[in-house]
Amino acid sequence: MDQDVPEGAGAADRRVLLRRLGWTALAVGVAATAVLVSPLVVPLPGPAPVTPPPSSAGPSSVVSPPVVTSPVLVVPPVVTLTAAAPPGAPPPPSPPAPATSSRPVAFQSITVHAADPANIRTGARVIECASCRGGSRVGYIGGPNILAIRVAGVPTAGTRTLTIVYETEEPRTLKVAVNDATAQTRLLSGAASLLIPATTSVEVFVPAGDSWIRFFNDTGDAPDINEIVLS
């Protein structure tokens, strides 16, 4: 670029002046370029987008963890099957009733001596006998004379076995009755001795509580009675 240089200046001054004018022109050119050309803005790279893993439920689905529940034990009902009888068939027979007995099952035997003071002896008498049970027996039974032995504390009524211990020298008839019941008759021969006990048994019905067992013979002599056992 040509500029007017004042006349009369030296060569050195001219060079200095021309250098200044060059720098001024360069600055003006740069300023003009900055005004005319928009600054170039280069965007900085941002963070890379994060891609979620593929899901069959879609991008907006949220997968929840599985819920574990305890198993419930279900008890099946008990079903009882009954075979139906054919039409017109008679009803099945009822099961037989268990057999019953009038004899008590857990009865404890009762033993009473003929000479017991609680007994009643009408005309009969106690006779000492070393070989008899209890050391004595009751004799002189028969005709109007009667021996009644008291049996106390029977728990339940029922038919029981009455065992009679007696002594006789010859066959004699003995009648036995419980309270006012009908008497049972036995012809007893024994051991043919008044010193040797013999036994006989009869079945009698005994009510609960206290009872009297009568021994007699209204037609003759009866054997001597030693003791009785009710079982």
pLDDT tens by residue, 77-92? 555 545 555 556 566 6
CA–CA dist 77, 153 (Å, integer): 54
Q: Which pLDDT value is given to residue 108?
A: 86
**Nearest Cα to Cα of residue 192 among 176, 163, 169:** 169
Q: What is the pTM of this model?
A: 0.55
The secondary structure element, H or E, covering residue 81 is none
Query: What are the angstrom distances between the C-alpha of 220 and each of 13, 88, 227?
Result: 200, 69, 21
Alpha-carbon span 65 to 149, nearest angstrom: 96
**Calpha distance 222→122 (Å, rounded):** 14
Alpha helices per DSSP H over the chain: 11-36
Name 159's bridge partners. Answer: 205
Write down the pLDDT at residue 142: 97
Contact between 204 and 159 (Cβ < 8 Å) = yes
pLDDT of the residue at 40:
42
Residues in the chain predicted with pLDDT less than 70, given as ranges, are 1-106
In the numeric block, the tokens 């004042």 are attached to 6
pLDDT at 60: 46
Q: Which two tokens stand for residue 15?
A: 């060079």
